[in-house]
Amino acid sequence: MDPANSLDELSLIAALLADAHASYGVVFDTRALRNTIQFVTNRTRSEGVSFLTKTMPRLGKHLDQVLSGATEWNAAELEWKLQDNSKLPRFLGELFNLVFYPDGGLLPEPDAKCVKLIRQILYLYYKYELPYDEAQEQQVIDAFKSAEKDLSEMSPQFAVWHSGWHSINKRRHIKGPLRDNESYREDPVVRQQLVIREARRLLNELFSSFDPTDIVPSHGPGVVATKQRLWEKFHWTNVSSRITDLYPFDAYFCASAGHVCDYYRSFDAVKVTDHSARVLLVPKDSRGPRLISCEPVDFQWIQQGLSRAIYRLVESHPIAKWNVFFTDQGPNQRGALTGSSTGRYATLDLKEASDRVHLELVRLLFPQRITAYLECCRSASTVLPSGEK
């Protein structure tokens, strides 16, 4: 649905503006309400849906930066007309004036409810799900392929790290001037290898008593590359031999010994070929689609069980239980709130993070007996929407 097509589709923002009129009618009067709705309508008709999904949210982000003290008001640079003799935008100006001085400074007692209302209006369509054109879809696919190319180019570096780790692992037994020499320890390559060695030590300790065969597999709620519907997932038609080498079919893909006895004749029909994963584009927000990978049903079955076992280990082991959280987002939420209110902390987000986990990095850091199980349920290839593998 395109908000640019009719006034009816702008009813949400009109309702929010009506709320502003109801709450702040003394300053945001009937005339201001009517003019603001007409302004939004005209801009949307002339500029299209991007006014709602991009232009308004940009002003919202600028407001957030001003409130945090990261910048000063500069709405004119964002192509918003300003109020007379003021740095504040004319759009929603009656409400902005309840929060800021004309010079852009924050009032001694700014109206917090007014700030919330302004942000609701400006961000209303930021997450609006719209059909994506081919250019947007291709941009996401190209980013995925670019990340894969970056990983391929990193492979020689991992070979260096592998050899370097073995070298420094021998050196750790050296006594005397070489090991204590500051220039030796401050060498960037050496420091890098020391970090790798410490990471390996910690992961070895973390997984020292972990049994990767002690898992309870399960299906996930989403789609799978092999396209079985939810009720079809338990009817096994294909199981990779890479998986069953470590997770035998009768022990991990059957409900019980009785199940094996009752249905063993049908097991001959189960194929043992590997299937590729499948890349799909799903709605994210107005900026474009999100790329996800659908795993073959047999791979996902084991992945789910293994991941939950690792979650339990990490969240209970003394090394990690106070620092890494998978099932409880409370600590992350409290940290984000503290960071927002004090500015002392920040959240970090790596672009295409899940696409940049290099297999050689896993092999370098994790104990070998663990990587064998991680790799057995790892898809060896994926198929893009175009059919390209």
Q: Render 150-180 in DSSP notation, one character per residue.
A: HHHHHHHHHHHHHHHHHHHHHHTT--SHHHH
Predicted confidence (pLDDT) at residue 3 exceeds the cutoff of 50: no
How many domains, in total, are found in the chain? 2
pLDDT digits (tens, 9 = 90+) for 115-139: 999 999 999 988 877 777 788 788 8
Q: State the pLDDT confidence band at 210, using cuts at 50, 70 and 90.
A: very high
- Please report whether residue 91 resides in a domain: yes
Between residues 53 and 204, the one the model is more confident about: 204
What is the per-residue pLDDT for 298?
92
Extract the tokens encoding 129. Answer: 């799900």
- Please report whether residue 33 resides in a domain: yes
Section 300-311 average pLDDT: 95
Distance CA 362, CA 357 (A): 8
Mean pLDDT of the chain: 84
Between residues 285 and 114, the one the model is more confident about: 114
Are 245 and 370 contained in the same domain?
yes
Q: How are strands ordered across the β-sheet holding 382-383?
A: 288-294, 277-285, 382-383
- Please report whether residue 215 resides in a domain: no
Are 244 and 375 contained in the same domain?
yes
- Please report whether residue 136 resides in a domain: no
Q: For 285-289, 356-360, 384-388, which range has the lowest pLDDT when averaged over its residues?
A: 285-289
- Please report whether residue 333 resides in a domain: yes
The answer for residues whose C-beta is within 8 angstroms of residue 148's C-beta and 6 or more apart is: 355
Are 235 and 377 contained in the same domain?
yes
Section 196-225 average pLDDT: 92
Between residues 264 and 114, the one the model is more confident about: 114
- Please report whether residue 92 resides in a domain: yes
pLDDT digits (tens, 9 = 90+) for 14-32: 999 999 999 988 889 999 9
What is the per-residue pLDDT for 176?
47
Domain range for 82 is: 7-122
Contact 122, 57 (CB under 8 A): yes
What is the per-residue pLDDT for 195?
87
Q: State the pLDDT confidence band at 7, using cuts at 50, 70 and 90.
A: very low
Q: State the pLDDT confidence band at 8, using cuts at 50, 70 and 90.
A: low
Q: Which of 104, 122, 140 is the endpoint of a domain?
A: 122
**pTM given for the model:** 0.73
Section 201-212 average pLDDT: 95
Section 271-277 average pLDDT: 85
Distance CA 276, CA 99 (A): 55
